[in-house]
Amino acid sequence: MAAAVPPSGAVAPAGRPGDGDAPAFSPLYQQIKTLITRSLEAGEWRPGEAIPSEMELAARFKVSQGTVRKAIDELATDNLLVRRQGKGTFVATHAEQKVQFRFLRLTPDDGEPAGAQRRFIDCRRLRAPSDIARALDLKSGDAVVQIRRVLSFRGAPVVLDDIWLPGQLFKGLTAERLSDYRGPMYGLFEAEFGVRMIRAEEKIRAVAADAGAGELLGLPAGTPLLSVERLSLTYGDKPVELRRGLYNTASHHYRNELS
């Protein structure tokens, strides 16, 4: 039976897990994964920074290097860490080109990717409507930040996004800050607000454009659109963003990889 690992990083005797730790029957590499995740959540290593070597972490946690390697392999699979050949292991960041559009699955039909142009229409603080509060695990009436934007590709508007964020986590977020930031929006969230999107859940359905959405996307009312509702979560599966997007798929398609 594997021993549980207390918050200090030392391995506790079997059957004596530290407060709040994984049960004693949890595999040792999973316990190390939990401890490394806690350090990431606490900001011990910032997005883009290198974490200590496997040897250093093995000494810190008093386990074998192979156990640390297995934990890091899983964290890399979860997109929390990135291995770079000959350089080490780094905290993943949405500022990296290959991951900044990890949650945007829209692909042009001709297969030629194009950068998105953003136009922010609105960014305001308001009391959370009941359905938004429920999705973000907030109390009804808590403050949220609502963002509306249009994404265009090759000059043509393709996506209309309505985004809600917990107001407590995003104090000071304005349309000006969003517009002035040159990188991806999730990069701004992690760099300036310390909120990192770890994973997301989506619901997809076909809808018809109403007059307002049609005007912003340059389409007649009634045009078929793909509705994508995405709930993004950070460490501990805490919801930190609700996004409802309307996609014009006339020249794009939604692409996903299943395994």
pLDDT at 43: 83
| Residue-level pLDDT at 17 | 37
Q: What pLDDT shows up at residue 24? A: 54
* Overall CATH class of domain 1-92: mainly alpha
pLDDT of residue 3: 42
Res 77: pLDDT: 87
> Each residue of 80-99: pLDDT tens digit?
898 988 889 998 887 655 44
Q: Which amino acid is at 222?
A: G
Q: Fold for domain 106-254?
A: Chorismate lyase (3.40.1410)
For the whole model, what pTM was predicted? 0.76
In this predicted structure, what is the pLDDT of residue 15? 38
Inter-residue contact 78 to 68 (CB < 8 Å): no
Direct distance between the N- and C-terminal alpha carbons of the chain, in angstroms, rounded to an integer? 31
Helix axes 65-77, 54-61, angle to 10 degrees: 110
Q: Which long-range contacts (CB under 8 A, 24 or more apart) does 76-85 make?
A: 78/198, 78/199, 79/198, 79/199, 80/37, 80/40, 80/198, 81/51
- pLDDT at residue 102, as a whole number: 56
Sheet hosting strand 224-234, strand order edge to edge: 116-127, 143-153, 156-166, 238-247, 224-234, 199-208
Low-confidence ranges of the chain (pLDDT < 50): 1-8, 10-20, 22-23, 98-101
The rounded distance, in Å, linking the Cα atoms of 170 and 192 is: 9
Distance CA 82, CA 66 (A): 18
The pLDDT, as a whole number, for residue 184 is 84
Collapsing DSSP to helix, strand or coil, 243 comes out as strand
Domain with CATH 1.10.10.10 in the chain: 1-92
pLDDT at 8: 45
Supply the pLDDT for residue 39.
92
